[in-house]
Structure 1
Amino acid sequence: MAEQRVTVETAFFRPDRVTAYQWFEGAPDIPRSRYSGSGMAEVYLRNSSSQPMRVARLRVNGRDITQLGKGEDIVWWRLRPNPLPANAFGELVIRFRSVPVQPVRIEVQLQDGEGITIRVPVTPPVVRLESFSVGEDGRQLFVYLEYTGGGDLPTRVRKVYLDGSDVTRRARVLSRNRWQGLCPIVLDLPQPLSTGSFHYLLIETTAGAIGLVFRARDGFFPLGSYGYVTPEEYATNDVNLYVSFSGLDKQQLDNLWNHHVKAISMVAGDGKPRADNIGHPALWAYYLADEPDVQDYYEQGLPADRRVGAKAMEMVRRDEACYRADAHALTFLTVDLTYKPANWYIYGRIADVHNTDPYALLVGWNLRQVYEVAETARLASAPTPAVITYQAMWIEPIGKPSDAKYPRMPTPEEVRIMMHYALATGAKGLISYIHCTERVGEQMFWGAKDYPEVWAVIGKTYREVKTIAPILAHAHPAEMVTSQADGLFVKALVAPEAVVLVCVNERGKSLPHRYVSQPLPASTLEILVPPWLPLRRAYLVGEGAFTSLPCRLLRGRAHLQLPEIESACVVLLTRDDSLTNRLAAAYRATPARTR
């Protein structure tokens, strides 16, 4: 009997981690029932042959889903990369609309006639791989495992493999015993990973194996904006990424690149990259589509509760077209607020970067709901990174009064607060909507350009974030901080070399025509110290600078004195001043913009 050339490395069912937040919908026919969650079957394959392989036929529980229709119980599936390269690894993912009631039987027939059958139990895993990132020079991989329960015995990492090679000796497991439900791993790589290249990570634990196929990214932390192609205005405000609703031409990309601004360019009408975009150094990612969940709502011939995900297989095809045409640029997909939260869980894993846009005041929300959306979107797409587009605009009807709850531009304080709520979830980038002002039909879309104080606070916040972006790029949320201060919202992000605290003053109030601020007095925080990192120093993060704050260690906890907070701030805790010195030096070494 011939040896099987494509084999299964590992397979598991990954259920949705559903948040407890309350959602509402504006459209009357969208179901209001609470989202109970679903999940996806993930199968990791190894092709040991000298030929690439495609899936010729795919059956799930006896049903052929090779050509998948809209509104089905299975929303989308894919093999990535497709075809499965010779002597390499790939990921077969099958996304369900609801949790299967029985184990998932998957039958894969490959193009050469070879068949594989896998049985995947619908059992929540004890350990999940929740985030990964690649270091700035491509020589480190940062991985965070989360323990989600289901096992009585201690769970430990046994082996780590990258692209089939045992790299356990290169892996630093920072917490061998679960710490706050986390197990951070730093993998020192023998050679740098090229941006956009596909890789396979396998982590064997005492509770089972976890796999992930990923595309390598560098340490770029997007601080972006929508608007017109005006890179000189973006560069002077430390915007490093321009996002376009249309395909950019070479001249526009050249202009952006000359101002040290990267770009996200929309794919062409056929879902493929523009020829003059491929390989351009300014091109960070291809925009697969804007808000496919909104398009789903208008899908004809389907009941409202079966529409979400109707565009998913088209997004899968566009993602494949982009990475096959351009091996280095990433893919990017914006998912709106329609059919929430199912939309984020259904679309979140398709592209390399998941983006959502909680425009709080525009839809009549309180500002805290930016955090709720961003946190849900992160969990929905994990371990795919999520970025957040925040509101820096408002819509004014022409010739009639507005019926909006907040018929005005967000104030600088509100914009800064929304940006910090997004950061508090571990978002891997921020994007402003929008810089320009333009008339659309009988409405004026007012952008930040016409509100200098708003544009200024965006720049100030971007420069503060840029100061610690190398840490934020690989930090992960952790439950480790407590506060007794009334009106203080604070969340922690943990990294191997530091802890980042994101603090928001919630004493202010958004009124229909203004924002009433109320400074938050100085207060004290208590932070649980990670076992690998004594937190002896604390700093208020500024624009390329750090201000020392009172901090002392006492019985495994750091006690920190916060200053008065007007709207929001970020604090960095670490062992000594060597990290802040390096970060400040790196900030000064970047191209001068506002300085």
Structure 2
Amino acid sequence: MPHLSAGKITPVRRHNPPAAFRHSNRTLRPMLANRRCSILVILMMGCLPGTDTASHAADRTGPWKLIYANIEPDRLKPPADGNLVPLQNGPGAYLRIVVANRGPDADRITDVALNGVSLRLALQGRSHPRVQQYPFYKQHSIEFMKGGPPKVLLDAGRPLWYRILPSNPTTGIGWTEILVRLRHWNLAKLHVQLKTATGHRMAIPVQTAPGVQPMTLMKNVHIGLATLNSARDRLYVYMLVPTASKQNPVSIESIKVDGTEITATTNRLSGYNRTGVIPLVVPLAKAWPKGSFHLLDCRLSTGERRVCSVRAFNGFAVMMFGANFGGPRPFIERGFKEFHEHYIDSWVSPGGTGSWRQISEDWWQAMARRYGIRLQPNHHHAGQTGAEVRQLAKSDMHTLAYWLFDEPDVNDYFDGEHHGVPLPLRLGLHAQRLVRLSGSLRTADPVHPTTLVVDKTFRPQNYHTYGQLPDLVQADIYYPLAAHAKQAPWDPLAYMYGDTQSARAAFMPKPMNIVVSASPDGGARPPKPGEERIAVYASVAAGAHGICYYWYNAAREAGCQWVVDTWAEIAILNRQLQLLSPWIGVGFPVELPVKTPDKLWVKTIAAGTDALLAVVINRQYISSPDGFTSTPMEQTPVELVLPEGFAVASAASIENDGPRSLAVTQTGDTVRFNTGSLDVARLVLLTRRKGLLNHLRTRWAELER
């Protein structure tokens, strides 16, 4: 899809609506006629509050300027088990617009209209018929409009939600990002209008080329990931360019951050230009303030351009969802001690306002800090008032993120039934409420990010519908609970890797955490240690930046009720994750040619330009309702073709008892190593820097508990 350059806003006289906007078919730069995806034809126009020609002339260089506008189609990768509910007229897309106010006033964007219909008015909320005690627990949908949604909104793509995100005042260019989620691709020419607080209007006509096919969606360019290291002084960016190859290399021509060209200072490796994923690392002059927003602008050598906002935080976490601690304060403290001993660094609090008040108490905060457990207040069905949010959301709390909602897609299904919404149109009912809650939380606490977890209802469109709403996205991929429910074959590798890939495709460019099954909840047997290892490793291989275990259940005397061997395996896995957090927390999957025996599964994750993490899994296992067994592999060779210029200086194998040196040989771009004795799975880290093993051994010793 061709990129569109920024254009200057041209004010025009205001007329009475609906003839308030004049549209032009004039393009800002030549378009590629052979593209099958949507092409935006953009002309920004402002409308003055009066008809005086002198005022019109004086304001011809109005303060608003277009930086970027594009329709971003869903990257639809079918889920592993093929069990999905197709939505009406999919696939969907996001409309992303970035404008900047270059004037002296503090004007701001207040509304978005599609084909002349205000989304602020079209997406009014409706109270839930069964939980009316929570007046803020509303669902929002154009299906609630009197007489049903007008045809112009259906033609526009049946919008589900929109967000207006202004930048921090300190970024210097005063940008605002507007994001509109479309249930399906727009069926006719799309006209977008932005309204400001002072009454200015900016019109953006959007023209769609015919013949859009889902098969083309996997070929589009995306910013795969934009995230920071834990110190927030290095920005990691990965451009996903599926058409790049050895015969068709693609490079990054330009990169800007907050309007400043920083291409010359980035760390790149030209060999990645042929792999389909182009990583680059941006050293920052000073660390970004936690929670601040910034604008990333990337242009490829093909002329294609992608822009997105980036929030300053690192997405790595090892979490536990919920808990039945089995009693009052002593049992809660015992549970947190167990979390610490098992290298868990975050806990999701169940419940709503009452639970949030409890974990805000001094003794809870002190306990969380003592054990290094960052808290996640859960807003599920909470319906907090604005006053409660302002009271409880504080930047000095020991918080990882604000959990906006648990499984909005599941709630869409049931709440849509209560509202009488047809099944294909229920997904997204909770989105606009969560957009508003996110805004309230950002105002009250500008430091900590927001998160939510998407379940498996309406897959894979559920991932896309909610994937751009929070700052950190999580997905329930659950194994073997789903298998027990006959939703999947008994194969943890195919299931976890395949569905995590689908989630990753929808969540780009945001960090992603994956929820794995880790208890006998729901009547299923608990996962065996080998299944747990495969679930965690497969999630990391597909791009997870953290893992959340579901869930913790403790008795008063016995501690954790899980089988002892799986609980011990979780401690081993989490120590490995914590050891590799500097790489996992900024990594992105890259497909590299690999040669191994059929029974060995190998995937690679790029961690910047200097490191590659290889996930190696023994496929000689049997997972069934009765249990899990595996047959070890001995001395199995692995041959990887690395990006040109990636010379391995050191390598380490991450064992149960810590990192060990791994012997590798490299000929040209091909590196070879041997797995040794492999029971279930192993992680291997390859770097272009020396001294890796000593560094890892020091970190491993520091993690001893």
RCO greater where, 1 or 2, for CA within 8 Å and sep 6 or more? 2
Matched with 2:635 is 522
Q: Amino acid of the residue matched to residue 294 of structure 1?
A: V
Shift of residue 185, structure 1, vs aligned partner: 1.4
Aligned partners of 1:577, 1:415: CA distance in 2, in Å? 32
2:409 aligned with 1:293:
yes
Contact 2:479 2:527 in 1 (8 A): no
Distance 1:122 1:462, change over 3 A: farther
What CA RMSD, in Å, does the superposition of the two structures yield over aligned residues?
A: 2.8
Matched with 2:163 is 78
Equivalent residues in 2 for 1:67-216 (5 A)? Answer: 67-69=121-123, 70=141, 73-81=158-166, 87-120=173-206, 122=208, 127-149=221-243, 155-175=250-270, 178-206=273-301, 207-216=303-312
SS in 2 for 1:502: strand
Q: Amino acid of the residue matched to residue 353 of structure 1?
A: L
Distance 1:544 1:41, change over 3 A: farther
Q: Deviation digits for residues 322-381 of structure 1, max 9, x if unmatched?
A: 111111111010111111111111001100111111222212233121111111111111
Q: Deviation digits for residues 368-406 of structure 1, max 9, x if unmatched?
A: 211111111111110011100100112366xxxxxxxxx
Q: Deviation digits for residues 471-498 of structure 1, max 9, x if unmatched?
A: 1111210111423323222210012221
Matched with 2:601 is 489
Aligned partners of 1:262, 1:415: CA distance in 2, in Å? 23
Aligned partners of 1:213, 1:99: CA distance in 2, in Å? 23
Aligned partners of 2:283, 2:656: CA distance in 1, in Å? 30
2:343 to 219, 238, 242: 238
Contact 1:143 1:185 in 2 (8 A): yes
Contact 2:613 2:683 in 1 (8 A): yes
Contact 1:353 1:386 in 2 (8 A): yes
2:469 aligned with 1:360:
no
Distance 1:436 1:465, change over 3 A: same
Give TM-score, length-normalised by structure 1.
Answer: 0.89
Matched with 1:419 is 536
SS in 2 for 1:480: coil
Contact 2:222 2:508 in 1 (8 A): no
Shift of residue 156, structure 1, vs aligned partner: 3.5
Shift of residue 174, structure 1, vs aligned partner: 2.4
Q: Deviation digits for residues 76-120 of structure 1, max 9, x if unmatched?
A: 111113899985222111111111134532111111112212234
Aligned partners of 1:541, 1:517: CA distance in 2, in Å? 20
2:500 aligned with 1:374:
yes
1:391 to 517, 522, 525: 517
2:111 to 52, 57, 71: 57
Shift of residue 583, structure 1, vs aligned partner: 3.5
Aligned partners of 1:239, 1:68: CA distance in 2, in Å? 43
Equivalent residues in 2 for 1:342-361 (5 A)? Answer: 342-361=461-480
2:170 aligned with 1:44:
no
Aligned partners of 1:448, 1:483: CA distance in 2, in Å? 42
Higher strand share: 1
SS in 1 for 2:503: helix
SS in 2 for 1:119: strand
Distance 1:81 1:244, change over 3 A: farther
Q: Amino acid of the residue matched to residue 532 of structure 2?
A: V
Give TM-score, length-normalised by structure 2.
Answer: 0.76
Distance 1:121 1:535, change over 3 A: farther
Aligned partners of 1:66, 1:33: CA distance in 2, in Å? 24
Unaligned runs of 5+ in 2: 1-57, 124-140, 144-157, 210-216, 326-331
Q: Deviation digits for residues 108-145 of structure 1, max 9, x if unmatched?
A: 11111122122345577853211011123221111011
Q: Amino acid of the residue matched to residue 403 of structure 2?
A: Y
Aligned partners of 1:54, 1:431: CA distance in 2, in Å? 38
Aligned partners of 1:277, 1:483: CA distance in 2, in Å? 51
Matched with 1:260 is 372
Shift of residue 516, structure 1, vs aligned partner: 2.1
2:456 aligned with 1:337:
yes
Shift of residue 448, structure 1, vs aligned partner: 5.4
Shift of residue 216, structure 1, vs aligned partner: 0.5
Aligned partners of 1:566, 1:177: CA distance in 2, in Å? 32
Contact 2:654 2:660 in 1 (8 A): yes
Q: Amino acid of the residue matched to residue 348 of structure 1?
A: G
SS in 1 for 2:684: strand
Aligned partners of 1:294, 1:376: CA distance in 2, in Å? 18
Contact 2:110 2:164 in 1 (8 A): no
Contact 1:24 1:32 in 2 (8 A): no
Shift of residue 7, structure 1, vs aligned partner: 1.6
Q: Deviation digits for residues 254-304 of structure 1, max 9, x if unmatched?
A: 211111111111235327647244123410100101011111011122100
Distance 1:172 1:537, change over 3 A: closer
Greater C-alpha Rg = 2
Distance 1:427 1:269, change over 3 A: same
Contact 1:170 1:189 in 2 (8 A): no
Contact 1:76 1:95 in 2 (8 A): yes
Distance 1:203 1:103, change over 3 A: farther
Q: Deviation digits for residues 398-429 of structure 1, max 9, x if unmatched?
A: xxxxxxxxx41111111111111111111010
Q: Deviation digits for residues 211-263 of structure 1, max 9, x if unmatched?
A: 11111014x62011122453211111111111112323233232111111111
